[in-house]
């Protein structure tokens, strides 16, 4: 059977596209629908550009979609008929026909009539009043094409918008206030979708003011057109049959919280315990402190209902990460002329304690292949206040595999452990949050960790970290993170004679400097602050952006400790780092159409070492290249400035800097539900703040940032493909350098050196980046 189908495929490849016709298989009195053509007939006062734009908007609306063609031939339809009707649907033949065949799309006179109506309605909804469309079918050799002639009139614009008030009551006062931020603007084109969005916006604004039972359907917009000026006057009004329930302001009476919805019964609510703020809590297992619900739920007995507070309360409960489901309902208190609501929260808890094991593998640009095993234990409610304790441990190894080994690279072994305790509130004396004012619950995080990194036969480096920080937000757009204590202690050990011999016999000053940094104990004691601004896009907007910024300052507290103990450059006997680092990032996205997005990013950062530090500590320095940076260059192989990449160091890539500039732009095209393609260009580099040793970087390296920095920019680009699943996005980006900053000035652009046929060129210049998630 399978052999028979293989023969059919061979016949298809041999004759299908040349001599076969699909029309001979069509049933009698049926014709194959091959598509449609839209012909624009614009008025004299309509520009050719406008007509072309409207045409591009109309074509996707036409139905049905014709069969797909391969070089002008309906291959899948031909396969559908050649394979024939299978005897069993689940047979190989049935699967093959369904997978590679496609039933024909037949022509119908009703198609032209229906699509003409669709075109007319769309034009009317977009403000092209009095425009019209007619359709006809043209048949040739049992193939039918639909032709639509569209008469296009000039588009109407908005001349005046009016919100009509029927009285001076509370409802119409609030209704009148909604006009301030109206989406309907004088001079804008008339668009039905904007009007519908405006009704939804007004509904949300009124619900924020307590009008719980109001709906967008209660609003009507009347349009008065002027044929001579092609303008329209809009009047927003309340429908005459609007129920009085929708015009009332509602208040909260009782607030019920059921902590385990799975244990709900008829008598559950009767066992509710009254707590402060009017909360009535049902917690039969006594699993939670009432405070977390008081802080999470913004409603209080007697307060006005607000949809904004309603959404915020649900978001807070979900973000406690203690509940699998959070359900909510409002009931009108049953009495005459009632304006009171009872609110119910039904929570389904997650399992309190969980343990997870992970194993991962990775290949690196320095020829190392690694694996890591990790175990994480989580308690979601350790002190009954939704406090989360996470304890994790990891063991990993990076080794060289295969016959071609790099003598400058040694195997790495890693072990680490980390504990994190998170509180859904500020752990700080003399401060209380106001749940009715804050957008989200603040978080306090205590984190401590230990890591040991061993480079086989060379050295072992042990680090300890301790962080204490807060994160909070007062609205959905701005988030703050502040770490008043960020401590990191680094201690070397097991430094081998082989390492010392390698360094002092090396001709590279970078190796000596790296050895000195490895040899010393270092202490980083500082504070960090970051802010993220994510403005909410306006309705129907195609643009969005994100701005982040922050600073990291270390050494001031350690300096005070050193001064008090009369230790020069030491705190507790350990040399401490002193620096100030500032970072900023801007991301801008534009949805050109539903399938095409333009994504952009600009990064800037500067670290200023002072006092004890000649440069930033390496863990705080910047590097360029890699899967999330300038993708045409391997990670840590670029810069600083015009310095030439050096992979012969015993420490492999050592290209770090105190200053970073980077820009990325990318076009992302969605092919289907699972496949996305991209074309991208990246540019940037890193520089040193100062050259602390001229034997390390020569003047020709231009390693220090100057006003000539643009001459040292590296530029690269390429193409990418992304596999999209509901759980993860896997990214494959193939890139190549366009500009190499270490080459002589007149040779840095390398387009004329592209040689895809050369294996040596491909090995040096083609970089395949494999990663999970977008780079920005």
For the chain, how many helices (H) and strands (E)? 13, 29
Per-residue confidence (pLDDT) for residue 587, from 0 to 100: 97
* Of the candidates 536, 514, 397, the residue with the CA atom closest to the CA atom of residue 453: 397
- Asked whether 559 and 576 are in contact (CB, 8 A), the reply is yes
Q: Picking from 46-55, 396-405, 580-589, 670-679, which range would have the lowest pLDDT averaged per residue?
A: 396-405
CA distance 279 to 294: 7
Per-residue confidence (pLDDT) for residue 336, from 0 to 100: 66
- Asked whether 400 and 406 are in contact (CB, 8 A), the reply is yes
Q: Return mean pLDDT, the chain.
A: 87
Indicate the pLDDT class of residue 510, thresholds 50, 70 and 90. Answer: low
* Burial classification of residue 581, based on how many CB atoms lie within 10 Å of its CB (0-12 exposed, 13-18 middle, 19 or more buried): buried
The secondary structure of residue 467, as a DSSP letter, is E
Return the SS3 of 221.
strand
Indicate whether 327 pLDDT > 90: yes
DSSP string for 96-129: HHHHH-----B--HHHHHHHHHHHHHHHHHTT-T
- Asked whether 607 and 620 are in contact (CB, 8 A), the reply is yes
Mean pLDDT, residues 177-189: 94
Angle (CA) 56 58 64, round 5°: 120
pLDDT in tens, 464-502: 999 999 999 878 899 999 999 999 999 888 887 777 776
- Asked whether 233 and 160 are in contact (CB, 8 A), the reply is yes
CA distance 630 to 635: 8
pLDDT in tens, 377-400: 999 999 999 999 999 999 999 887
Mean pLDDT, residues 239-267: 86
Indicate the pLDDT class of residue 19, thresholds 50, 70 and 90. Answer: very low
- Asked whether 431 and 671 are in contact (CB, 8 A), the reply is no
Angle (CA) 501 504 505, round 5°: 80
User: What residue has token string 């900053």?
Assistant: 741
CA distance 349 to 286: 13
Indicate whether 47 pLDDT > 80: yes
Indicate the pLDDT class of residue 701, thresholds 50, 70 and 90. Answer: confident
The secondary structure of residue 691, as a DSSP letter, is -
The region, left, alpha or beta by phi > 0 then psi within -120 to 50, assigned to residue 498 is alpha
Residue 693 to residues 371, 584, 690, 698, Cα–Cα distance (Å):
38, 29, 9, 9
Which of the pair, 6 or 440, is modelled with greater confidence? 440
Terminal Cα distance for the chain, rounded: 50
Per-residue confidence (pLDDT) for residue 155, from 0 to 100: 96
CA distance 636 to 608: 20
Return the SS3 of 569.
coil
Indicate whether 683 pLDDT > 80: yes
Indicate the pLDDT class of residue 168, thresholds 50, 70 and 90. Answer: confident
Which of the pair, 644 or 683, is modelled with greater confidence? 683
CA torsion 60→63→68→69, rounded to 10°? Answer: -80
Indicate the pLDDT class of residue 49, thresholds 50, 70 and 90. Answer: very high
* Of the candidates 441, 495, 451, the residue with the CA atom closest to the CA atom of residue 472: 441
**SS3 string of 371-418?**
EEEEEEEEECCCCCCCCEEEEEEEEEEEEECCCCCCCCCCCEEEEEEE
Sign of the Cα pseudo-torsion (114, 116, 119, 125, in order): negative
Per-residue confidence (pLDDT) for residue 226, from 0 to 100: 79
Return the SS3 of 313.
helix
CA distance 484 to 428: 12
CA distance 166 to 709: 65
Mean pLDDT, residues 438-456: 89
- Asked whether 406 and 398 are in contact (CB, 8 A), the reply is no
Mean pLDDT, residues 95-107: 88
Return the number of other C-beta atoms located less than 10 Å from residue 54's C-beta: 23
* Burial classification of residue 772, based on how many CB atoms lie within 10 Å of its CB (0-12 exposed, 13-18 middle, 19 or more buried): exposed
Indicate the pLDDT class of residue 516, thresholds 50, 70 and 90. Answer: low
Q: Which residues contact 512 (CB under 8 A, 6 or more apart)?
A: 503, 504, 506
Mean pLDDT, residues 533-553: 93
Mean pLDDT, residues 563-573: 68
% of the chain at pLDDT higher than 70: 88
Per-residue confidence (pLDDT) for residue 622, from 0 to 100: 93
Per-residue confidence (pLDDT) for residue 596, from 0 to 100: 95
pLDDT in tens, 58-77: 999 999 999 988 877 888 88
DSSP string for 284-309: TT--S-HHHHHHH----TTPBP-HHH
Indicate the pLDDT class of residue 433, thresholds 50, 70 and 90. Answer: low
CA distance 167 to 162: 15
Per-residue confidence (pLDDT) for residue 16, from 0 to 100: 47
Indicate whether 15 pLDDT > 50: no
pLDDT in tens, 577-603: 999 999 999 999 999 988 999 999 999
């Amino acid at each position: 059977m399978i052999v028979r189908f293989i023969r059919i495929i061979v016949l298809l490849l041999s004759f299908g596209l040349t001599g076969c016709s699909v029309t001979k298989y069509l049933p009698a009195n049926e014709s194959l629908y091959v598509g449609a053509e839209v012909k624009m007939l614009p008025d004299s006062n309509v520009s050719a550009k406008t007509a072309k734009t409207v045409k591009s908007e109309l074509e996707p609306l036409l139905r049905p979609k014709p069969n797909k063609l391969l070089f002008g031939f309906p291959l899948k339809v031909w396969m559908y008929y050649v394979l024939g009707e299978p005897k069993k649907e689940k047979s190989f033949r049935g699967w093959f026909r369904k997978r590679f065949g496609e039933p024909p799309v037949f022509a119908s006179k009703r198609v032209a009539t229906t699509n003409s109506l669709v075109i007319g309605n769309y034009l009317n909804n977009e403000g092209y009043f009095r425009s019209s469309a007619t359709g006809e079918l043209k048949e040739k050799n049992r193939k039918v094409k639909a032709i639509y002639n569209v008469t296009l009139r000039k588009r109407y614009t908005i001349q005046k918008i009016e919100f009509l008030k029927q009285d001076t009551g509370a409802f119409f006062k609030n209704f009148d206030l909604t006009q301030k931020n109206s989406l309907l603007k004088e001079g804008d084109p008339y668009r039905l979708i904007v009007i519908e969005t405006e009704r939804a916006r007004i509904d949300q604004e009124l619900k924020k003011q307590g009008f719980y039972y109001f709906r967008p359907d209660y609003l009507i917009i009347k349009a008065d057109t002027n044929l001579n000026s092609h303008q329209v006057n809009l009047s927003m009004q309340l429908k005459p049959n609007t129920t009085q329930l929708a015009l009332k302001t509602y208040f909260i009476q009782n607030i019920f919280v059921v902590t385990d919805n799975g244990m709900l019964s008829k008598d559950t609510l009767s066992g509710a315990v009254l707590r402060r703020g009017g909360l009535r809590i049902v917690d039969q297992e006594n699993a939670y402190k009432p405070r977390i619900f008081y802080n999470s739920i913004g409603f209080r007995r007697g307060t006005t209902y607000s949809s904004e507070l309603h959404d915020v309360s649900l978001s807070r409960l979900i973000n406690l990460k203690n509940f699998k489901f959070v359900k909510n309902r409002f009931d009108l208190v049953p009495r005459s002329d009632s304006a009171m609501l009872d609110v119910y929260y039904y929570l389904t808890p997650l399992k309190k304690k969980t343990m997870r094991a992970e194993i991962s593998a990775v290949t690196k640009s320095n020829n190392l292949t690694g694996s890591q095993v990790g175990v994480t234990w989580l308690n979601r409610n350790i002190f009954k206040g939704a406090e989360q304790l996470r304890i994790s441990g990891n063991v990993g190894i990076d080794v060289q595999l295969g016959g071609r080994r790099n003598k400058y690279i040694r195997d790495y072994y890693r072990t680490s452990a980390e504990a994190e305790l998170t509180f859904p509130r500020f752990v700080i004396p003399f401060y209380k949050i106001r749940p009715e004012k804050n957008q989200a619950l603040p978080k306090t995080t205590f984190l401590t960790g230990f890591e040991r990194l061993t480079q086989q036969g060379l050295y072992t480096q042990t680090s300890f970290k301790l962080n204490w920080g807060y994160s909070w937000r007062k609205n959905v757009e701005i988030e703050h993170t502040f770490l008043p204590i960020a401590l990191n202690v680094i201690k070397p050990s097991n430094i081998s004679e082989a390492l010392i011999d390698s360094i002092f016999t090396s001709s590279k000053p970078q190796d000596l400097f790296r050895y000195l940094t490895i040899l010393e104990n270092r202490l980083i004691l500082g504070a960090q602050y970051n802010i993220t601004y994510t403005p909410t896009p306006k309705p129907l907007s195609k643009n969005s952006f994100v701005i982040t910024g922050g600073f990291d300052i270390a050494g001031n507290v350690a300096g005070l400790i050193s001064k008090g103990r009369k230790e020069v450059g030491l705190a507790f006997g350990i040399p401490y780092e002193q620096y100030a680092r500032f970072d900023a990032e801007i991301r801008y996205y534009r949805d050109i159409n539903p399938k095409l997005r333009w994504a952009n990013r600009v990064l800037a950062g500067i670290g200023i070492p002072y006092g004890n530090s000649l440069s930033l500590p390496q863990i705080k320095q910047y590097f360029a290249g890699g899967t999330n940076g300038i993708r045409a260059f391997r990670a840590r192989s670029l810069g600083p400035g015009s310095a030439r990449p050096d992979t012969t160091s015993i420490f492999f890539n050592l290209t770090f800097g105190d200053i970073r500039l980077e820009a990325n732009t990318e076009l992302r095209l969605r092919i289907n539900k699972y496949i996305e393609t991209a074309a991208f260009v990246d540019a940037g580099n890193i520089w040193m703040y100062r050259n602390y040793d001229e034997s390390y970087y020569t003047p020709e390296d231009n390693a220090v940032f100057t006003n000539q920095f643009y001459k040292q920019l590296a530029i690269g680009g390429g193409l990418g493909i992304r596999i999209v699943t509901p759980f993860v996005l896997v990214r494959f980006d193939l890139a190549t350098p366009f500009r190499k900053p270490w080459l002589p000035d007149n040779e840095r652009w390398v387009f004329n050196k592209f040689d895809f046929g050369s294996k040596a060129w491909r090995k040096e210049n083609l970089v395949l980046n494999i990663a999970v998630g977008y780079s920005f």
